[in-house]
Amino acid sequence: MSETYDPSSLPDLLPIYYKKLFPYGPYYRWLNYGGVPKTYFNHREFSFTLKDDVYIRYQSFSDQQELEKEIQRRCPYKIDIGAVFSHRPKDHKTVKAAAFHAQEKELVFDIDMTDYDDVRNCCSGADICSKCWPLMKIAIQIIDRALREDFGFQHLLWVYSGRRGIHCWVCDDIARKLSQNGRSAIAEYLSVVKGGEHQTRKVTLDDIIHPSIRKSLDIVEKAFKDYAVDKQDFLGNEERQTKLSEDFKSGSNSKVWWAIIQKREKDIREKKKYKDCQNVTREIMLQYCYPRLDVNVSTGVNHLLKSPFCVHPKTGRICVPIDPEKVDEFDPEDVPLISQLIEELNKTDSTDDTSKRGKDYKRTSLSSCVQVFENFLKKLENSWKGKLQEQSDLKMEF
C-alpha cells in the first residue's frame, strides 16, 4: 500500500476518484433532504475550485445525475457547498439581484488548528501532529455535547477538513432555517476564549459558572494533563510562562517564585481579590484547550464551506466524516489518501469486474468512512419518516 502522495499526480487521480469512488448516492440523499421542499437540492449552490485556482461560483444541479456528470466533467480540486437560494443559483444572472438571496443552510462550524498557535509548541500554521491533535478531539467532544444537550440538535455531521481542522454541519430543520442573528448567537454562546494579542488572560469566568461551561470543564479537565503538561510541557520555559501570566516575566528562580506564591496568598486573603483567584486553574485550562471557533464562518447563511468527501489537494487526504462517539479512535494520519485508494482499487479491479458502478468504494478503505456517513444519514432519514408519519396521522384525524 502506498503511503505517499505527490500533489502533482492529482490531475491524474481525480478523474478516477470522481468516477469510481465519490459516494454520490448518499451525498445526494443528504443534500436532497427527502425532497422536501422539492426545490431544495436544485436551489443549492455549489462552487468548484479548478486547477490553477480557477474559482467558479453559483453552480447548481437538478438531480444526482447532473451533479455526477458535472463533477466528473470538471474534476474540481475543491468543492464547496453554499446556501439554498430563492432561485436556482445557476440562473442568478437572470434574476434581479434584490430577489436572489440565500434562504437556508446548515449551521456550520469551522475549527482550525492555526487558531491555536499560541497554545501549542509542537507545530504552527498548517502543520499538525499527534501532540496537538488532542485539541481537535476536545473540540469535537465539547461542541458536540453542547449542540445536542443544550440546543437539542440531533443531526451533526463532523468532517475532517483534510489537513489541519474539522468542520461540523448541523443539519436539523431548525438549524438550517436559522437567521444570521441566530447563528451568531449560537457561535458566541459557544465561544469562551476571547481577547487579542495584547491580552494575556483570554478566559474570564463568572463567579457562578454557567452549567454549559461546567460540562465543558469536565471534558477539558480529563484531557488537560495529558495535553498541556505531558504533550506540550506548557510551562517548560520562560517564554511559555510569560504567555500565561505577566507575573512570571521577571524570571523563574526560586526567589521570584516564592514572591509570587506569597503575593497570591495575600491576594486571596484580601477578600476582594478572592473572586479573581478561585477560578484561576479553570480559566487556564480553558484558555489552553477550549475550542476556538471561526465565528465568521458560522454566522453567514451565505458562507461556503468545503464539502465532505473532497480531496485536500496538498495532502491528498479525503475529507472524511468523523464519528463523534469514536473520536478517540480517529487519527488524521490514518485518513485515506487518494493515491492509496486508487491503488487499492487497482489491486482488486481485476478480481472483481461485476461490481456495480458507484459501489467501488466498498473495495477500498473509504468504505468505513462512507459507513460513518451512512449512519448519520439513516438517523436523518428516520426523522423525515417520523415527520411524514406525523403528518399523515394528523390528516387521518380530520
Partner 1 sequence: MEIITKSKARRNRHNIKKEQDTLSHPLQFYKIPPSDTISLQKFEEYAIERLKVLKAVENAGVKFIKGTQNYKDHLEKEIRKTHFKGILRVPFIEVLDLVRSRKVYLVDGYAFVPRDDMISILLTHYRAHLSHSLAITCRALPHLEEDDRLLPMLCGLSKRYIGEDYGNKKSTVGEITADMIDMLSKQSFPLCMQQLHQSLRQNHHLRHGGRQQYGLFLKGIGLSLEEALKFWKNEFTKAIDGDKFDKQYSYNIRHNYGKEGKRADYTPYSCVKIIMSNPPGPGDFHGCPFKHTDPDLLAQKLRSMSLSKDAVDSVVNYAKEGHYQVACQHYFAVTHSNFEDDININHPNGYFEESRRFLNPDKGNMNKSQLGTPRTNRNPVKMEGTPISQLASQTQPSQDSTVGDFDDMGDNDLMDIAMETDAESDKKSS
- Residues of this chain that interact with partner 1 (CB under 8 A) are 53, 55, 82, 92, 97-98, 100-102, 114-118, 149-153, 174, 178-182, 184-186, 188-189, 193-202, 210-213, 246, 292, 296, 299-304
Q: Which of 19, 131, 215, 282 binds Zn ion (CB under 5 A)?
A: 131
User: Three-class SS of residue 294?
Assistant: coil
Is-contact 159 324, C-beta < 8 A? no
- The CA angle 369-371-374, to the nearest 5 degrees, is 120
User: Three-class SS of residue 181?
Assistant: helix
- Choose from partner 1, Zn ion, none: what does 180 bind? Cβ within 5-8 Å by kind: partner 1
- Choose from partner 1, Zn ion, none: what does 164 bind? Cβ within 5-8 Å by kind: none
Q: Provide the residue type at 77 as one letter.
A: Y
Q: Which residue lies nearer to partner 1 by CB, 96 or 395?
A: 96
Question: Applying CB under 5 A, does 138 fall inside the site for Zn ion?
Answer: no
Torsional class of 349: left (φ above 0), alpha (ψ -120 to 50), beta (otherwise): alpha
- Choose from partner 1, Zn ion, none: what does 298 bind? Cβ within 5-8 Å by kind: none
Tell me the closest approach of the beta carbon of residue 276 to partner 1, in angstroms: 14
Which x/- pattern over 110-129 shows residues binding Zn ion (rule: CB under 5 A)?
Answer: ------------xx-----x
Tell me the closest approach of the beta carbon of residue 199 to Zn ion, in angstroms: 24
45 as an active site residue: the answer is: yes
Cα 106 from chain centre: 12
Q: Which residue lies nearer to partner 1 by CB, 201 or 273?
A: 201
> Closest Cα partner for 303 from 108, 58, 29?
108
Q: Which residue lies nearer to partner 1 by CB, 194 or 359?
A: 194
Q: Which residue lies nearer to Zn ion by CB, 129 or 259?
A: 129
Tell me the closest approach of the beta carbon of residue 243 to partner 1, in angstroms: 11
Q: Which residue lies nearer to Zn ion by CB, 186 or 289?
A: 289
Give the largest CA-CA distance in the chain: 83
Tell me the closest approach of the beta carbon of residue 7 to partner 1, in angstroms: 16
How far is 339 from 19, CA to CA, in rounded Å? Answer: 14
Q: Which residue lies nearer to partner 1 by CB, 196 or 356?
A: 196
How far is 328 from 245, CA to CA, in rounded Å? Answer: 32
Is-contact 260 246, C-beta < 8 A? no
- Choose from partner 1, Zn ion, none: what does 132 bind? Cβ within 5-8 Å by kind: Zn ion
Per annotation, catalytic residue among 68, 112, 144, 172:
112
> DSSP E strands: which ranges in the chain?
44-49, 55-59, 78-85, 102-104, 107-112, 156-160, 165-170, 305-306, 321-322
- Choose from partner 1, Zn ion, none: what does 123 bind? Cβ within 5-8 Å by kind: Zn ion
How far is 19 from 153, CA to CA, in rounded Å? Answer: 34
Q: Provide the residue type at 220 as one letter.
A: V
112 as an active site residue: the answer is: yes
Tell me the closest approach of the beta carbon of residue 382 to partner 1, in angstroms: 18
Per annotation, catalytic residue among 68, 80, 106, 110:
110
Which residue has 503511503 as its cell numbers? 3
How far is 210 from 324, CA to CA, in rounded Å? Answer: 24
The DSSP bridge partners found for residue 57 are none
User: Three-class SS of residue 253?
Assistant: coil
- Choose from partner 1, Zn ion, none: what does 98 bind? Cβ within 5-8 Å by kind: partner 1
How far is 16 from 22, CA to CA, in rounded Å? Answer: 9
Which residue has 451533479 as its cell numbers? 67
Q: Which residue lies nearer to partner 1 by CB, 83 or 318?
A: 83
Q: What's phi and psi for 104, nearest 5 deg?
A: -140, 155
- Choose from Zn ion, partner 1, none: what does 212 bind? Cβ within 5-8 Å by kind: partner 1
Binding interface with Zn ion (CB under 5 A): 122-123, 129, 131-132
The catalytic residue positions are 45, 110, 112
